[in-house]
Amino acid sequence: MACVYGVYDKIKSTFEELDNLSKSGHFLNFFATKNQSATGVFLLPLLLLALIFSSAAQHFGISEKVLEKIRVKYGTTAETRVQYWQDMIQQYQTSDDMDRLRAVNNFFNEARFVNDIDLWHKNDYWATPLEFLAKDAGDCEDFSIAKYFTLKEMGLDISKLRITYVKAELLNQAHMVLAYYPTPSAVPLILDNINKRILPASERSDLRPIYSFNADSLWLARSRNEQLRVGMPTQLNLWQDLTNRMTNDAI
């Protein structure tokens, strides 16, 4: 047993050194300077695995404490859904934009549509991505917001994304979608929870744009093809409330 504890202590001590070196970007030097004893050869694969699992556990900053809150409040299925979401974000870090768009659109469009008054007992409420995932339900704003922040976490340039408030002509009601602009002057692609196909805005004559925004700017639609920058998203009270709750890991 003393031998086992000795190996454990060595693993723990070496891992701590590895962790510190990894943060400084010099962890490869560790392997070059360590002697090649039998114990060192035995520890190498374990240390590599430990470093990989440690990095994965810290990915995107959702702590075990937050996951536990989700599990206690919403159940293990909700916790699993959030963990799957994290894995998906990591999986698509190096993918091209269209693969990211398809994955995110398909994932969130599996959720249920439920009005704010029924789900949150409020006339208008913009849920955080964690709240939306925990409930596995929301209205059009929640679908669009969750898609926006997920694509942002995947590394997609947010200057290409605009959360867009529209009038759904066939339904004669307000609606929200996410628009993706491959270039600033391009016709955007629309990610929608009603029509679940990703289509160019030119093929969505049923949607009339009103205004759009991302984390940097706010635009007013002068026509279907012309957007006028009019300010910042902080002018939107619901956006301010949303980002404040996201900062505090609201679930």
**50 and 81 fall within a common domain:** no
**51 and 118 fall within a common domain:** no
For the segment 167-174, the average pLDDT, to the nearest whole number, is: 95
pLDDT over 60 (residue 10): no
190 CB-side CA count, 13 A? 27
Segments forming the whole domain that contains residue 91: 61-247
The rounded percent of the chain whose pLDDT value lies above 90 is: 69
- Tell me the pLDDT tens digit for each residue of 232-250: 999 999 999 999 999 887 6
**174 and 93 fall within a common domain:** yes
Q: How confident is the model at residue 180 (pLDDT cuts 50, 70, 90)?
A: very high
Given a contact cutoff of 8 angstroms between Cβ atoms, the answer to whether 167 and 88 are in contact is no
Q: Which pTM was predicted? A: 0.76
**102 and 168 fall within a common domain:** yes
**88 and 147 fall within a common domain:** yes
pLDDT over 50 (residue 15): no
For the segment 42-57, the average pLDDT, to the nearest whole number, is: 42
**237 and 222 fall within a common domain:** yes
Domain termination site, one of 57, 73, 101: 57
